Structure 1
Amino acid sequence: MATQLKQPGPAPRLRVENYLSGDFAKAENQHLWTKVWLVAGREEELRNVGDFLTFNVATESIVVARGKEGLVAYHNVCPHRGRRLADGCGRASQFRCKYHGWTFNLEGKNVLVQDRDDWQGALDDERIDLWPVRVDSWGGFVWINMDMEGESLTEYLETIPEFLDPFELEKMRFRWKAELHLPVNWKVALEAFMEGYHVAATHPQLLPVAGNDYTQSFAQGKHAHFGYWKDMQPIGTASPRLADGGFRDARAGVIEFFRQIEEDLNAIQTDRDFEAAKKIMDVLPEDVDPMTAMGTAIELGRQAAVADGTDYPAQLTFEALAKAGSDWHIFPNCVTLPYFDGAIWYRARPDSRDPENPDKCVFEIWSLKRYGPGKEPEVQTRVITDPFKEGLCLILDQDIANMAEVQAGMKSSKFRYARPNPVQEVEVINFHRTLEQYVLGQAQA
């Protein structure tokens, strides 16, 4: 059941220790990452038997592969002397330790121990196989859980499929991928995308065309979402925060919105949507109302998708789109903003090279798109080690610029706790309440 977590009395507070404490980071490694379902990758990365990827989080490394009977996952460690078996992604018929040659098949079974007779039969076959990890899939994503007991992925996701299944995320493919190494806590990075409250100050260029930027947010169990449900205004019109600045021609406002999202974000809506939106100048009169202009742009985008060999999702009605809202936090470390034929997906985690350092993280951004059969591109991950010198795009660069300043500012002697907005930042509030229940055993936020 959705809750807004707005209660009478003191304003909500978030402990600064959750972001800055090495002890809290260590407790996350012990009590969070090994106990929850985590997105390890996309199914499209594991199409064929033997395809594998590695997923590192905190002190753990997991190898996920396409086995003969489906997806499999194991702790990425040789039981002989502890060397990691795999790195990156690729294809293999077996996993062979490069240290002493112990070898394991895709079912995790040890099939070779060099000079096995030296043990004189003392090796226990069960102990020399790979340690399994639970693996499942939803939305085209591959999920792993290192806790062999507990709730299933379906139980863990709670109401998320009800809201997001209509988007058919499983039919999307990578448009581009980026991996950023940031000098901030993983929560600081993720929370930059968990509320729309920041848009007016951080992305002021959006205000003339984004409609009413005021958001409401609601908890959905462990997860949460926000949307633009109050005093909705059509895309292409100006925010009420502006005294002026909107487009007198609704067609131009709609096209400018699609241009900004395509050229300044390159995600959520697609290049195909932008090109289709431009056509409203030819098919609609100059005095058309903003709602009709936006609706026509969407329909032209759908027609363009059909012409490209795909379509918009059949179950994604305007009612389903409105119900889902604009942005979802999927506990603990993912955020997504989906649309008819595209989506952006964020994933944050501690830097596994220094897993107890609260001032470091790896932050990934995936742009997804529906493609016609065989039209999806070959995508390589763009790795950015200094995102403050190497930019991505205007909107993301604006978000990233806040992060280091937040991490540094929270270390002020005067900053004891954050004060999130009780209406627009429920995603952040609910995040910390749930996080503390895992890490501390009780919520203190």
Structure 2
Amino acid sequence: MNELSKVEAATDTTPEPVVIPVEAYISEDYARAERDKLWRNCWLQAGRVEDLPEVGSYITYEILDDSVLIVRVAEGEAANGAEGKIKAYRNVCTHRGRRLVDTPKGERNAHGRRNNFVCGFHAWTFEIDGSCSYIQSREDWGPKLCEDVTRLGEVQIDTWGGFVWINLDPEAEPLRAYLEPAATMLDPFQLQDMRPRWRKWTIFDCNWKVALEAFDETYHVPGTHPEFTEFGDFVGWGRQQGKHSHIGYDTGDGPKENASKLRLGAGDPRVTTAQMQKYTWEGVNTNTTQTLVDVAQRLPEELPEGTSATDVLKYWLETSRQIDAERGVIWPEVDAAHVAASGTAWQIFPNQQIGHAVNNMLCYQARPCGYDPDKCIFEVAVYELYPDGEAPETQWEYADPSAFPHVLLQDFSNMAAVQQGMKMGGYAGNIPNPKAEGAVISLHRNLARYMGTGEPQELG
């Protein structure tokens, strides 16, 4: 059985309806317990390899009380811990516990390039390999102040898909094993070749799960984005895949590829695809590229009325692929059946979503903002393929929630209201659609395994 058939076999059964207790969303005790039971035991996506272009380049990643300093220590493409090209350290001086690198106020994380790291308290100095090269009055400690005592503590690190991943558990399973089957399903899309077009982060008045779950299903489209229903039905599914899950669209009698991000509109697909691409580009600025939008606008003129959906899709994608190739943007070749089976996005447990396509990617991430269950940090990043040397230079930018494109604002409008609504006395818990919101159910089943509470309960 190949990897694709393994995934397909795992997704045939719709789970039974369940009730999800609200404890995981609103309990302060639960929020505090997440630090030790969840965040310190999972692989977490902390950045991109391209954020560390030179020896000495560094970024930080913070999750509750923990801060990780990630540094490129050698040139080369390989970046996992065994290869030693990129290392991750506990971002704390081994002398008196001062954080070694501070995150500037208003920034998502610290970033830059240094030859070494000097503690701002007593000037202990650490090289990029983690060794301590300067200690004031070192002789006062005598021989017991050895390398094993003074060097920075290392954190597990690896890369996949162009992302840098860290794990605070020194005995954690290898990243690749943790990511399966998502890694195998997403490998053909060559996510490591994409670069960010824009990256924004903000703070929401809701739990991190509420924010993430808003994008873990398409069941909300008719209610939250009714204008999209003009372009067709957005009947979706969500399926558990081990620790992870994925979502996608039912295609009915349409092309299998229509299960993916790059899908057609209904009715006359020449016209509705052009309209949907234009609206998506202007209204959300994600899930497509300028080439795809431009070619879609020409479909009504370049294809005759009555062209089948399959032929419209083929012409649109092949023409866009050719135009991009002429400017040095090479799309990966991914089998149509694989594209269909992979769906539109994968939810990487616990807190990342990767919305993949052959030439672009939309990623969401949510994490706690302190121990307040009513607050979270939310991140949106849009990636695409660029000609060599022509990718824009981007950094994470803070944006007030009101400053995002208006389709995302529609999603955001639900979050605080959901958070408050779940606190209502007598509220019995969430009852997600077992087919369309299966990814939400999957998240809480896996959370319960880590947290020891909050298991979804059978409905009725």
Q: TM-score, normalised by structure 1?
A: 0.92
Structure 2 equivalent of residue 138 of structure 1: 160
What is the aligned partner in structure 2 of residue 231 from structure 1?
252
Matched, 1:267 2:286: yes
- Which amino acid is the alignment partner of residue 226 of structure 1? I
Aligned equivalents of 1:5, 1:58: Cα separation in 2: 37
**Match of residue 372 from structure 1:** 387
> Out of 429, 436, 440, which is 1:428 matched to?
440
Is the contact between residue 265 and residue 276 of structure 2 (CA under 8 Å) also seen in structure 1? Answer: no
Relative distance call for 1:258 and 1:237 in structure 2 (3 A) is: closer
Q: Does 1:305 align with 2:317?
A: no
Which of 207, 211, 224 is equivalent to 2:229?
207
Aligned to 2:65: 59
User: 1:101-250 counterparts in 2 under 5 A?
Assistant: 101-209=123-231, 211-231=232-252, 233=254, 235-238=263-266, 246=267, 249-250=268-269
Deviation at 1:444, TM superposition (A): 5.0
Aligned to 1:326: 344
Q: 1:365-419 deviations in whole A, cap 9, x for unaligned?
A: 00000001011001132202x41xx221122111111111111111111323111
2:52 is matched with: 46
- What is the CA distance between 1:232 and its match in structure 2? 5.1
- Aligned equivalents of 1:6, 1:280: Cα separation in 2: 37
Structure 1 pair 115/5, CA: closer, same or farther in 2 (3 Å)?
farther
Matched, 1:290 2:309: yes
The match for 1:30 among 26, 30, 36 is 36
1:401 alignment counterpart: 413
Q: After superposition, what is the alpha-carbon deviation per residue over 1:182-203, rounded to whole angstroms, capped at 9, x for unaligned? A: 1111111100110111111111
- 8 Å CA contact 1:13–1:420 kept in 2: the answer is yes
Distance 1:100 1:269 in 2: 50
Determine if contact 1:335/1:347 at 8 Å carries over to the other structure.
Answer: yes
1:217-250 CA-to-partner distances (Å, cap 9, x unmatched) read 2111000111113525464444xxxxxxx5xx43
Q: What is the rounded CA distance, in whole Å, between the counterparts of 1:53 and 1:43 in structure 2?
A: 10
Query: Once the two structures are superposed, what CA deviation does each residue of 1:16-53 show, in whole Å capped at 9, x if it has no partner?
Result: 01000011011111111111100000011011111110
* Cα pair 1:175 1:368 within 8 Å, conserved: yes
Equivalent residue letter for 1:414: G
User: Cα gap change, 1:236/1:350 in structure 2, threshold over 3 Å: closer, same or farther?
Assistant: same
Structure 1, gaps ≥5 residues long? 239-245
Structure 1 SS opposite 2:364? strand
1:241 corresponds to which residue? none
Q: 1:344 aligns with which of 351, 359, 362?
A: 362
In structure 2, distance between residues paired with 1:174 and 1:89: 16
**Cα distance change of structure 1 residues 5 and 436 upon mapping to structure 2, 3 Å threshold:** farther
Q: Is the 8 A contact 2:284 2:406 kept in 1?
A: yes
* Partner-residue secondary structure (3-state), 1:143: strand
* Contact 2:23 2:454 (8 Å CA) reproduced: no
Residues 444, 197 of structure 1: alpha-carbon distance in 2 compared, 3 angstrom cutoff: closer
Q: Which structure has more helix as a fraction of its residues?
A: 2
Q: Which range moves more in the overlay, 137-146 or 262-271?
A: 262-271
Aligned 8 A contact 2:19 2:432 in 1: yes
Structure 1 position 15, deviation (Å): 1.2
Cα distance between partner residues in 2 of 1:232 and 1:112: 69
Give the TM-score normalised by the residue count of structure 2. Answer: 0.89
CA positional deviation for 1:251: 1.6
Q: Counterpart in 1 of 2:107?
A: none
Amino acid of the structure 1 residue aligned with 2:88: A
**CA offsets 1:326-358 (integer angstroms, 9 cap, x no match):** 12110000012111210100111111xxx2111
Post-superposition offset of 1:282: 3.5
1:132 CA displacement: 0.3
Matched letter for residue 264 of structure 1: G
3-state DSSP of counterpart to 1:133: strand
Determine the C-alpha separation between the residues in 2 that align with 1:300 and 1:161. 29
Aligned residues between the structures: 426
Structure 2: any 5+ residue segments left out of the alignment? 1-6, 75-83, 104-109
Q: Please state if 1:83 is matched with 2:98.
A: yes
Matched, 1:361 2:379: no
Change (3 A) 1:125 1:237: closer
Task: Tell me the percent identity.
Answer: 38
The root-mean-square deviation of aligned C-alpha atoms, in Å, is 1.7
Deviates more, 1:284-293 or 1:217-226: 284-293
Q: Is the 8 A contact 1:179 1:365 kept in 2?
A: yes
Report the equivalent of 2:427.
415
How far does residue 77 in structure 1 lie from its aligned partner after superposition?
Answer: 0.6
